[in-house]
C-alpha cells in the first residue's frame, strides 16, 4: 500500500516536471471572435512605416478587432511609455516594432508579468534581455543579416572585389542596423580590395542620409559605392551625390534595402543599382499568427519573411508589385 502511494507520487512528480518543461511560461491567449490589441509603432516619418501601419490598421478593420495604435515619434522612451499604457488598458495582446534592441526589452517582461502576450514585428530585441519563445511569442520580420550579405555579395560580383564604399547605417541600436552591418561586414572581410571608407548613421531618414552623405563625400571623394541600410537614406544620398556633380549609377553605385516604389523606380531610372526587398505589409501575417497562438498551435520563435530583390533586369516588370 505504502509502496503504491510512493509510486503514484513519483509518477505525479515526473508528470508535473514534464508539463513545466513543456510550458514556455508565455501568457496564454483565449480564443475570441474579436480582440482588443495594441500596436506600438516606432515612428511614421517614412513610407515603410506608413505602409506597415496601414497594413496593421486595414487588417484589424477587416477582422473587426479594436486596435490601440501609438506612434513613438522616434523616441524609445516614448515607446516604452506607450507599451505601459497598453498594459494599463488591458489589451489582449501587443504588437511591438521595437525602435532599439535594448531599451524596449524591459517592457516586454512587464507585459509578460501582466499576462499579455507580445509579438514583435519587423524589429527584434537583444536576446540576452528578453527571449523569443519565452518572454515574447515570436519575431516576425526579415533576416537582416542575410539582407546585408546579399548587398555585399552583389557589390563583390559587380566590382570584382574592388570598391571604395560609404555605408549609411540605420538607427543606432536597432536590430536592422546592427544586422545589416554584420551581414555586410562578413562579406567585405573576404575581399581585401573592398574598403569601407566611412560608416555612419543616417537614422533611416532621407534628409539625415543626405546630410551625412554630403559631409562624407567631402572627406572621401574617391567613393564609388554607397550602401544605404534603407531606401530613404539611399534617396537622400542620391540628392547629395547629384548636388556634388556626381552621377549615381555611373560614378557611384547606390544600393539599398526595402524596395518601396520610389526606390524601385530609381532602379528603373538607373540611379539605384540594386535593392533587397524588406516588405512592410505585416498585417495579415501578424494577426493570423496571433490566432494560431490562441488556438494553441506551436509558434516558431522566428517567422522570417521572404525578401525579393530589384535590379536593372527586373525592376520595370516588378515596379507595380513594390509597396
> Residues interacting with ligand GYE, by CB under 6 A?
46, 48-49, 122-123, 176, 204, 230, 257-258, 278
Looking at the Cβ atoms of 198 and 278, the one nearer to ligand GYE is 278
Cell matching residue 221: 571623394
Nearest to 179 by CA among 216, 212, 150: 150
* Maximal CA-CA distance, the chain: 94
Shortest separation between residue 170's beta carbon and ligand GYE, angstroms: 6
Q: What share of the chain is helix, strand, coil (3-state, %, to 5)?
A: 45, 20, 35
Pick between residue 78 and residue 291 the one whose CB is nearest to ligand GYE.
78
Task: Give φ, ψ of 321 to 5 degrees.
Answer: -95, -5
Exposure pattern of 66-100 as b/e (b: 16+ CB <10 Å)? ebbbbbbebebebbbebbeebbeeebbbbbbbbbb
Q: For 136, what's the count of Cα atoms within 13 Å in the CB-facing half-sphere?
A: 34
Q: How far is the CB of 219 from ligand GYE (least distance, A)?
A: 26
Q: Give the nearer residue to ligand GYE in terms of CB position, either 139 or 204.
A: 204
CB atoms within 10 A of CB 193: 12
Half-sphere exposure of 33 (CA within 13 A, CB side): 1
The residue among 220 and 262 lying less far from ligand GYE, judged by its C-beta, is 262
- Report the Cα 134 to chain-centroid distance in Å: 20
DSSP secondary structure, 157-187, as one string: HHTTT-EEEEEEE-STT-HHHHHHHHHHHHH
Q: Which is nearer to ligand GYE, 92 or 179 (CB)?
A: 179
CB 82 to ligand GYE: min, Å: 17
167 versus 258: smaller Cβ distance to ligand GYE: 258
Provide, rounded to whole angstroms, the least separation between the CB of residue 46 and ligand GYE.
5
**Closest distance of CB 20 from ligand GYE, Å:** 35
Smallest distance from ligand GYE to CB 230, Å: 4
Rounded to a whole number of angstroms, the minimum distance from the CB of residue 298 to ligand GYE is 26
Give the residue with the Cβ less far from ligand GYE, 44 or 224.
44
Phi and psi dihedrals of 37, rounded to 5? -120, 155
Q: Which is nearer to ligand GYE, 35 or 144 (CB)?
A: 144
Distance of CA 101 to the CA centre of its chain: 11
C-beta closer to ligand GYE: residue 48 or 119: 48
Minimum distance from CB of 162 to ligand GYE (Å)? 28
Q: How far is the CB of 258 from ligand GYE (least distance, A)?
A: 5
What Cα–Cα distance (Å) separates residue 65 from each residue in 140, 150, 240, 281?
Answer: 20, 38, 44, 18
DSSP letter, residue 305:
P
Amino acid at each position: 500500500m505504502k509502496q503504491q502511494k510512493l509510486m503514484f507520487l513519483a509518477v505525479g512528480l515526473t508528470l508535473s516536471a514534464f508539463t513545466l518543461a513543456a510550458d514556455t511560461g508565455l501568457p496564454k491567449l483565449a480564443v475570441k471572435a474579436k480582440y482588443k490589441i495594441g500596436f506600438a509603432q516606432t515612428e511614421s516619418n517614412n513610407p515603410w512605416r506608413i505602409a506597415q501601419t496601414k497594413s496593421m490598421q486595414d487588417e484589424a478593420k477587416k477582422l473587426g478587432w479594436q486596435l490601440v495604435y501609438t506612434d513613438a515619434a522616434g523616441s524609445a522612451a516614448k515607446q516604452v511609455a506607450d507599451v505601459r499604457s497598453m498594459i494599463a488598458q488591458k489589451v489582449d495582446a501587443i504588437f511591438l516594432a521595437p525602435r532599439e534592441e535594448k531599451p524596449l526589452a524591459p517592457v516586454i517582461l512587464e507585459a509578460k508579468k501582466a499576462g499579455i502576450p507580445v509579438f514583435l514585428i519587423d524589429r527584434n530585441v537583444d536576446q540576452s534581455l528578453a527571449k523569443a519563445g519565452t518572454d515574447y511569442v515570436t519575431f516576425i520580420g526579415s533576416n537582416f543579416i542575410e539582407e546585408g550579405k546579399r548587398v555585399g555579395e552583389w557589390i563583390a560580383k559587380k566590382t570584382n572585389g574592388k570598391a571604395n564604399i560609404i555605408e549609411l547605417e540605420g538607427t543606432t541600436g536597432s536590430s536592422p542596423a546592427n544586422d545589416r552591418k554584420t551581414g555586410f561586414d562578413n562579406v567585405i572581410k573576404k575581399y581585401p580590395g573592398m574598403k569601407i571608407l566611412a560608416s555612419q548613421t543616417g537614422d533611416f531618414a532621407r534628409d539625415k542620409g543626405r546630410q551625412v552623405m554630403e559631409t562624407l563625400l567631402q572627406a572621401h571623394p574617391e567613393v564609388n559605392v554607397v550602401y544605404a541600410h534603407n531606401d530613404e537614406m539611399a534617396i537622400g544620398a542620391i540628392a547629395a551625390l547629384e548636388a556634388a556633380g556626381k552621377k549615381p549609377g555611373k560614378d557611384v553605385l547606390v544600393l539599398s534595402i526595402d524596395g518601396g516604389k520610389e526606390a524601385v523606380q530609381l532602379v528603373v531610372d538607373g540611379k539605384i543599382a540594386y535593392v533587397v526587398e524588406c516588405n512592410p505589409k505585416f498585417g495579415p501575417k501578424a494577426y493570423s499568427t496571433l490566432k494560431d497562438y490562441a488556438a494553441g498551435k506551436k509558434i516558431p520563435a522566428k517567422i522570417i519573411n521572404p525578401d525579393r530583390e530589384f535590379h536593372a533586369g527586373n525592376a520595370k516588370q516588378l515596379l507595380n508589385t513594390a509597396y
